[in-house]
Amino acid sequence: MGQGRILIIDDDPDITEAMSVVLENKGYTVASAADGSAGLEQVAAERPDLIILDVMMRTSQEGFELSRQLKGSAEYKDIPILMLTAVKDKTGLDFKSTAGDESWLPVEEFLDKPVKPDVLLEKVASLLSKS
Amino acid sequence: MENLLKSTSLIQRAYWLVRLRWVAIVMLGAATFVAGRFLHITLAAGALYTITGVLLVYNFVLYDLLRYWTWGQKAPSPGRIGRMLTFQIAADLVILTTILHFAGGIENPFSFFFVFHMILASILRSKWESYVHASSAVLLFGGLVVLEGLGVLPHYDLVGFADHGLYDKPIFVFGFLFVFVVTLYLVVYMTSSISEQLRIQQESYERANKLLEEKDQLKNQYVLRLTHDIKGHLAAIQSCLEIVIAGTVGALNDKQTDLIDRAHRRTVKCMAFITALLKLTRMKLTGELEVERFSLKNCLFNALAAVQNKARAKAIAVSHTITTSTDELPGEAVLIEETVTNLLFNAVRYTPEGGAVELEVRDDGPFVRVTVSDTGIGIPDEAMDHIFEEFYRAPNARAVERDGTGLGLAFAKEVVERHGGTIEATRNPTAGTTFTFTLPQRLTPETD
């Protein structure tokens, strides 16, 4: 059974619920937020061990901005972020996972939606074991 | 951009004049030689050879200038090239008049050649400028024959061709000039009317084309928006279904499992379609490639690996021949890999059990040529022209596999063309289809 507090920041309540079910079933504690600012408040209140962040919320930039904000703060920069996006599919959004680039996206892992339950659990476990 | 295009096509026209002048120079030299040597016509050969030489130098200078304009750092403005065209036409009229003066004046039938200059002027320049050129031709040639007739200018006899000179017979000179003037103005009138009409037509085509492109962009934005929203809903549906299927929230009975499986299968298919449409539309909208040096070989092997299981299940032999070092192609690896994967998947999908699929890659001049051929069901004649269209599926492909996005080949075409290559499908002599696409080995301005 997994252990750890996970914060899901996504404006799609059904996706959030589906992931929560999978994660809670494995023993994780799950909290959620529906937008960037609520997410930031939750991060401060909950001190999660892992953040699952949707790249496209109300504005297509919200996920990006939040990830940069978190990784730029001394307090939260060590919390791993799993970003939900089609990054592997380069025809979509263009960004790189290396620093220094303007399109730098400072997250540990990417997953395209819909996330398969076993893949989600595997990524979450590996990120939590690293941190 | 429009300015640049205009400059380029104007320079092409200027080259055209220079090329025609090479022909004229050769003709002038040859005619002088043949007339004197074989036809025994006495003419001012010295003067004519000198003019040939001057023309040769003049044309080389123009040619050099055009080359400089074509390859130089800064393209000249359309106005400047236009003025050069005007100058060339005017200078050519003076040169032709001079040649005629030294070769019999009014008695030389080469005076018909003024008609060519009028046609060129009417095609290349505006209507009013062409009339100005016609008028200067009339003034130059008319002045020449009148002054020769009056004895103000010397007349060079064409002995052996027009022995009993007509240049000093007023009735002949005026009759000739009358026809000459009418011919020139009529030629300008007719040619410039036609070319002006063509110009107007071309402009309206260009406008219509631009409008269509704008509409297409609007459509793409609409489709992007729509597919993006649908994808969000589908992702949520699929996530929920997968949790139920995984048994995370408890076991289902057989009938429930069956129905949920059906719902899931349909969702996955719908998702594949929406994802393909989203990719294609995004590419059409942004139109940009992330060009890097990539290994084509890696892409090919990844694509081969991707279809391996499906091919094995149908006992289809997938072979490959790669006879080029393809480690340093400019382009976007992910897109090329997906294109090759698409083509291989199609080949396997539409080839009956026990068939063969072959992937071949070789150098082809400045390109790399990739071919995927199969022993499959083939593409019917009437479908050949449509297979790269969005959503099109050949009837026999539909019969073999009911579900298919009809977007795979449209995507492949978009990717290949964005890279500066081409893609085509041909029928194999025995059975099946061969898809061939090319990729440039070096960067061209389009892919830069």
CATH number of domain containing B317: 3.30.565.10
Same domain, B271 and B304: no
Report the residue from A17, A90, A116 with minimal CB separation from B332.
A90
Write the burial class of residue B371 (CB in 10 Å: 0-12 exposed, 13-18 middle, 19+ buried): middle
Residues of A in contact with B236 (CB under 8 A): 12, 14-15, 18, 114
Give a yes or no: residue B270 inside a domain: yes
Q: What is the pLDDT of residue A88?
A: 45
Residues in contact with B291: Cβ distance below 8 Å, sequence separation at least 6, in sequence order: B330, B331, B332, B443, B447, B448
Domain check: are B9 and B123 in the same one? yes
Q: Does residue B59 fall inside a structural domain?
A: yes
Query: Per the CB < 8 Å rule, is A15 touching B279?
Result: no
Domain C-terminal end among B168, B187, B206: B168
Degrees, nearest 5: CA angle B328-B333-B339 = 120
Residue at B420 is within a domain: yes
**One domain for residues B255 and B341:** no
Q: Determine if the pTM surpasses 0.80.
A: no
In B, which residues are within 8 Å of A15 by CB distance? 235-236, 239
Report CA dihedral (B330, B335, B339, B342) to the nearest 10 degrees: 160
Strands annotated E in B338-410: 356-364, 367-374
Looking only at Cα atoms, what is the longest distance across chain B?
Answer: 118
Q: Which helix (H) or strand (E) holds A84?
A: strand A81-84
Kindly indicate the confidence band of residue A91, based on its pLDDT and cuts at 50, 70 and 90.
Answer: very low
Q: Considering its fold, how many domains does chain B have in total?
A: 3
Residues B323 and B400 in one domain: yes
Probe site for chain A from B248, B278, B283 (most A CB atoms < 10 A): B248
Residues B413 and B369 both lie in one domain: yes
- pLDDT for B30 equals 92
Residues of A in contact with B235 (CB under 8 A): 12, 15, 113-114
Q: Is A89 on the interface with B (CB under 8 A)?
A: yes
Strands (E), B302-416: 317-322, 329-331, 356-364, 367-374
Structural domain includes residue B148: yes
B172/B139 Cα distance (integer angstroms): 18
Among A25, A88, A115, beta carbon nearest to B239: A115
Distance from the Cα of B297 to chain A's closest Cα (Å) equals 19
Mean pLDDT of B370-390: 91
From B269, B286, B303, the end of a domain falls on: B286
pLDDT tens, residue by residue, B72-130 = 767 777 788 888 889 999 999 999 999 999 988 888 888 999 999 999 999 888 889 99
Of the pLDDT bands very low, low, confident and very high (cuts 50, 70, 90), residue B445 is very low
Q: List beta partners, residue B396.
A: none
Residue B190 in any domain: the answer is no
By residue count, chain B amounts to: 448
Distance, in Å, from the CA atom of B96 to the CA atom of B90, rounded to the nearest integer, reads 10
Q: What are B144-199's pLDDT values in tens digits?
A: 999 998 889 988 888 778 777 788 888 888 999 999 999 999 999 999 999 889 88
Q: Are residues B301 and B281 in the same domain?
A: no
Q: Structure tokens of A68? A: 């940069």
User: So what's the ipTM on this one?
Assistant: 0.78
Nearest CA in chain A to B250: A25
Asked if A10 and A16 touch (Cβ cutoff 8 Å), the reply is yes
In B, minimum Cα distance to A120 occurs at B239
Which domains occur in chain A, in start order? 5-130 (3.40.50.2300)
> Which of B25, B32, B90 lies closest to B55, judged by CA?
B25
> Do B249 and B328 share a domain, yes or no?
no
B238 with A114: Cβ contact below 8 A? yes
Indicate the residue of A15, A88, A117 with minimum beta-carbon distance to B236: A15
Q: What is the mean pLDDT of residues B314-324?
A: 90
Q: Could you tell me if B441 and B367 are in contact, meaning their C-beta atoms sit under 8 angstroms apart?
A: yes
By mean pLDDT, which of A5-14, B36-45, B372-381 is the weakest? B36-45
User: Is A117 in Cβ contact with B243 (below 8 Å)?
Assistant: yes
What is the phi-psi region of residue B392: left when phi exceeds 0, alpha when psi lies from -120 to 50, beta otherwise? beta
Instruction: Say what the pLDDT of residue A17 is.
Output: 93
Q: Has residue B372 been placed in a domain? A: yes
Q: Are residues B15 and B157 in the same domain?
A: yes
Q: What count of other Cβ atoms lies within 10 Å of the Cβ of residue B223?
A: 18
* Test mutation, A20, A22, A91, A95, chain B, max B CBs within 10 A: A91
pLDDT digits 0-9 by tens, B217-266: 899 889 888 988 898 899 999 999 999 998 888 899 999 999 999 999 99
Kindly list the distances between the CA atom of residue B35 and the CA atoms of A102, B44, B99, in Å, as whole numbers in the listed order: 76, 11, 14
User: Are both B16 and B159 inside the same structural domain?
Assistant: yes
Nearest Cα of chain B lies from the Cα of A56 at a distance, in angstroms, of 10
A106, A67 contact by CB (below 8 A): yes
Residue B427, SS3?
Answer: strand
Q: Note whether B149 and B73 are same-domain residues.
A: yes
User: In Å, how far is A93's CA from the nearest CA of chain B?
Assistant: 9
In the predicted model, is pLDDT for residue B134 greater than 50? yes
**Residue B218 forms part of a structural domain:** no
Question: Residue B393 falls within a domain, yes or no?
Answer: yes
pLDDT score for B387: 92
pLDDT for position B1: 37
Domain hosting residue B8, numbered range: 2-168
- Contact check, Cβ <8 Å, B239/A25: no
Give pLDDT, residue A99: 45
Smallest CA–CA distance from A93 into chain B, residue: B282
What's the CA gap between B110 and B119, in Å, rounded? 16
Beta strand segments in B10-105, E? none
B127-150 vs B78-102: helix crossing angle, rounded to 10: 20
Chain A residues near residue B242 by CB distance under 8 angstroms: 18, 114, 116-117
Average pLDDT of the residues in B12-27: 89
Q: What pLDDT was estimated at residue A60? A: 61
Mean pLDDT over B413-439 rounds to 91
CA nearest neighbour of A78 among A47, A36, A103: A47
Q: pLDDT tens digits for A50-73?
A: 999 987 666 666 777 888 888 888
Residues B186, B192, B194: CA angle, nearest 5 degrees: 105
Contact at CB, A14 and B335, closer than 8 angstroms: no
Q: Are residues B234 and B335 in the same domain?
A: no
Same-domain status, B263 and B304 = no
- Boundary residue ending a domain (B263, B286, B309): B286
